[in-house]
Structure 1
């Protein structure tokens, strides 16, 4: 009888250990998947509250402006159309256009009638395609258009 009791106890212990293995108890955890770090994005800081001029509101660096002014190869982009643009929120930093010509965020480029262009973030804006767009202060400054004008811009997706 004693021997049967030990065998039963041993069997119960063996099943408990086997159950732990099934549940992952007592084994080393699976290594976490390696996720590549996203590329750093150059972000301009928000202007100071006392900023009143276009130059003070434009917090982009010379390097950011130079990079944004680079015109990509024509084969790398798709023309989305034209839009009448106005100055967007001047305290919203960076190079961007809010436009109804896109329905999802993307990278792109805008070009003014004077031939100057700037790479921008394309941000969807509710409205019909002809409803007009809003452009960041730094982008309009690089396009060399008066901030109070309503320039017609060509919009491209990269």
Structure 2
């Protein structure tokens, strides 16, 4: 009985190691493609060189009684105008993803996506409307082909439906 218990614990432990290495992108082969895992948007060797991002937290949380999209969207007109300014050339396109409305009570302009492995400045474009928004790209577990979650503010800014899935192009700014 002890042998079976020990064997079970060892097997589960090894299975857990595989999940941990996959989750954190450890052991990935150099030159991996988007299908193999998330793209690491930073080239800097020193984590201190990574810029501080505030698009995801620039707006205050909505009031507890908020029930409409207008009440839940706490970004200011100035923040929306700044986010809608077209990006300068030089950004790197990460790919397309299908975005759904994320947590509507989480303020800011953000996209949670498996296309990135670390938080980064980015831009999402709605090909149907041609509108785009600067966002904070936040890692979301899953395959690179999995869907993404977008903030209420960002969905409204790019002219996307709040109740339907929207295909968006995702790019790093820079």
What is the TM-score when the length of structure 1 is the normalising length?
A: 0.73
Which of these residues, 12, 28, 47, is aligned with residue 62 of structure 2? 47
Aligned to 2:85: 70
Aligned to 2:73: 58
- Return the alpha-carbon distance in structure 1 between the equivalents of residues 131 and 139 of structure 2: 23
Which of these residues, 117, 121, 127, is aligned with residue 103 of structure 1? 117
RMSD of aligned C-alpha atoms? 1.6
Which structure has the larger Rg? Answer: 1
What are the ranges of 5 or more consecutive residues in structure 1 without an aligned counterpart? 1-37
Structure 1: which 4+ aligned runs deviate by more than 4 Å? 38-42
- Return the alpha-carbon distance in structure 1 between the equivalents of residues 52 and 163 of structure 2: 35
The count of residues paired between Structure 1 and Structure 2 equals 120
- Return the alpha-carbon distance in structure 2 between the equivalents of residues 85 and 97 of structure 1: 8
Q: Do the aligned partners of residues 81 and 44 (structure 1) sit closer, same or farther apart at CA in structure 2, a change above 3 Å counting?
A: same
Contact 2:53–2:136 (8 Å) recurs in 1? no
Q: Report the Cα offset of residue 85 of structure 1.
A: 0.4
SS of equivalent to 2:122: strand
Task: Kindly provide the CA deviation profile for residues 75-99 of structure 1, in whole angstroms up to 9, marking residues without a partner as x.
Answer: 2x00000000000000000000000
SS of equivalent to 2:124: strand
- Return the alpha-carbon distance in structure 1 between the equivalents of residues 115 and 89 of structure 2: 19
- Return the alpha-carbon distance in structure 1 between the equivalents of residues 131 and 53 of structure 2: 26
Which of these residues, 133, 136, 151, is aligned with residue 148 of structure 2? 133
Task: Kindly provide the CA deviation profile for residues 116-142 of structure 1, in whole angstroms up to 9, marking residues without a partner as x.
Answer: 000000000000011100000000000
| 1:91 partnered with 2:105 | yes
- Return the alpha-carbon distance in structure 1 between the equivalents of residues 146 and 94 of structure 2: 14
Q: Do the aligned partners of residues 117 and 40 (structure 1) sit closer, same or farther apart at CA in structure 2, a change above 3 Å counting?
A: closer
